[in-house]
Every structure is written in C-alpha cells, then in structure tokens.
Amino acid sequence: MIEGSDRLPYKGWRETIIRPDLAKWGQSLSDLPILSVEAEHARSRERFLALLMIASGQTTACSWAREIGRSALHRTLCAAHLGWKLCQKLPKKTDPHRRVDFLQQFHQLYEQVWRSQRRLIYIDEAHIHRDMDVGYTWAAKGKPAWQLSDSAPLVHRINWYGAYDFAEGQCFIWNEGPCNKEHTIQFLQRMAAWLADAPGAIVIIWGGAPWPRANFVQAAAAKLDFTLIPLPAYSPDLNPIEGLWKWMREEVTRNHCRESMRHLFDACKAFIDRINRDSASLVYRLWPKFELDSDYEKFLVSN
C-alpha cells in the first residue's frame, strides 16, 4: 500500500487538472491509490500512479517507494499542461501583513514625493566579485561558449553601498571596506554631501541589513535630517535598488573576469556614471513595486 494516500491534498489547480482525465475511466480522485496498484494493464497503472503523484504534489517516484517510467511520467505531466520550470525560493519568514502595511505607507510617501515635499532614497549593499558571473552569451551554433577566468578567490570582492534617488533618477555607490556600523555612518555622510542641494525632507528606505537599526546609526541619520524606513523582513522585491546590483553584474562581471580589483572598481564606477546620464531609462528600469502580486501573497499567507 502507498502510505499517506488518504491524506492527499486533492484541492486547487491539481484537482482541476486531474478530474477530466479520471472522467475518461469513470473514476474519482479517491480511487487513485487503488487504481495505481490494481489496474489491469501495466501502462494504466503507470498512468494512475503519475496522476496520483501530481495530486499529491510529488513528482519523484522515490517518494512513493514505487517504480514508474520517466517517459510515462513525462507524458502525463505534459498532458496535464504542466511545464518544467525553475523553482523560485520564497522565504517563509516573510510577513505578508507587514508587506501590505509597508505599501500603504509607500503610497502616502509617493504622493509627497510627487509634490516635491519629500526626497525618496533607496539604499542597499552588495558584494561584487572579481571573478565572472556565468550567464548566457552569443556564440556559434553547435559550439560551446568558453571564457577564461582567473578563478579569483571569494575575498576578491568590493563591498558596495548603493543609493538610488527615485525622484531624480540617479545612483551613487561608495566603498571603504567591509559593510558595518562605522562604515554605514560614513556612507550616510557621503550621501548627505551627494544630496546637498536636494529639495524636501529626505526619506531613506533601507533593506534588511542589521547596521541601519543600530542606535548610533539611527542617531547619525537623525543628525543629518534623514528619516529611515526599514523594509519588511525578507522582501527584496520591494527594494528597486536590488535591480541595480543585478544590472551591474550583467554589465560588469557577467562572463568577464576583471584583471585586478582596480579594474573591477573602475568598471563599477564607469557603469554608474553611464546609467546616470539617462535618468529616464534608469527610473524605468528601477521602478518600484506599487502593488502586490495576489497569488504570491496568498501563498505567503497559506504558509
């Protein structure tokens, strides 16, 4: 017998997919465990077992201590209009209620930015390594795409602080060693000089790093007349500057290993200077999220 078959979650999209298939044989969902064992023909047993695996959310036969042909499972999954996809990690620690509260606060803040009453700055940190980030590239058909690498050690990296001025479509990066509380204060001071002529009160939305929450970092920010607003925990999708780091890796380190740390530093700076020359494109690329994906949020609530 197949253990746990009486507790299968026959609900939602899986049930919608499987029911029409079972209707061909005049069977119901509750018959699947028995049919997968006692069906007359071997191919029918494989078919029912594949449907049983879909119903339970398990697409590996080892979960059932049963054998099923890979081609039979593939045929069944394709017939159910399912596709092979890269699974995306969803942090269970994310609080959906705080995400909703944050977006409500953001909408009010955006209205103030629109009236030039506030200046909205997003801040985050990133580690850019000297070694290449492997990615897609153009190459001759039928031939592999090779790229030489120095195999630089992981310590060969730059710890960037980054700021994104949403209203003006400008970015600023700064580095002085590891990211910590002391360097965070220095970065805020450098950023204050960068924003010296900025109109309106400055509001900073910061990611999940622990340093902005330190008391003396908060005090230093208040002394500079900065208001710090933390992002909800484990919500990088609400911080558009995450897109800046992805963009930088695509342009600076994808399929390219820099000769030295100096070359990497200069390449990162040159990238920022280049994108700052086209503010409209920069804002378009780093546009913040104004609405939550209902399917994504429902999954957070259900877990």
Q: Chain-centre distance of CA 110, in angstroms? A: 23
- Quote the CA–CA distance of 142 and 257 in Å, as a whole number: 25
Range in 3-7, 228-232, 294-298 the model is least confident about:
3-7
Question: Across the chain, what does the average pLDDT equal?
Answer: 81
φ and ψ of 120, to 5 deg: -100, 125
- Quote the CA–CA distance of 183 and 177 in Å, as a whole number: 8
Q: Chain-centre distance of CA 205, in angstroms? A: 18
- Quote the CA–CA distance of 102 and 262 in Å, as a whole number: 39
Work out the pLDDT band at 6, boundaries 50, 70, 90: very low
Q: Domain locations in the chain? A: 5-79, 96-302
280 or 45, which is more confident? Answer: 280
pLDDT of residue 287: 94
96-302: what fold?
A: Nucleotidyltransferase; domain 5 (3.30.420)
- Quote the CA–CA distance of 44 and 262 in Å, as a whole number: 64
- The DSSP symbol for 250 reads I
Residues contacting residue 216 through CB under 8 Å, at least 6 positions apart = 181, 185
pLDDT of residue 21: 58
**Residue 124 corresponds to which tokens in the numbers above?**
């985050």
pLDDT digits (tens, 9 = 90+) for 19-44: 555 555 556 556 666 666 666 666 66
pLDDT at 282 over 80: yes
140 or 267, which is more confident? Answer: 267
Tell me the mean pLDDT in the region 96-102.
89
Tell me the mean pLDDT in the region 252-280.
95
Which amino acid is located at 37 in the chain? Answer: V
pLDDT of residue 43: 65
pLDDT digits (tens, 9 = 90+) for 143-185: 888 988 888 888 999 999 999 999 899 999 999 989 888 999 9
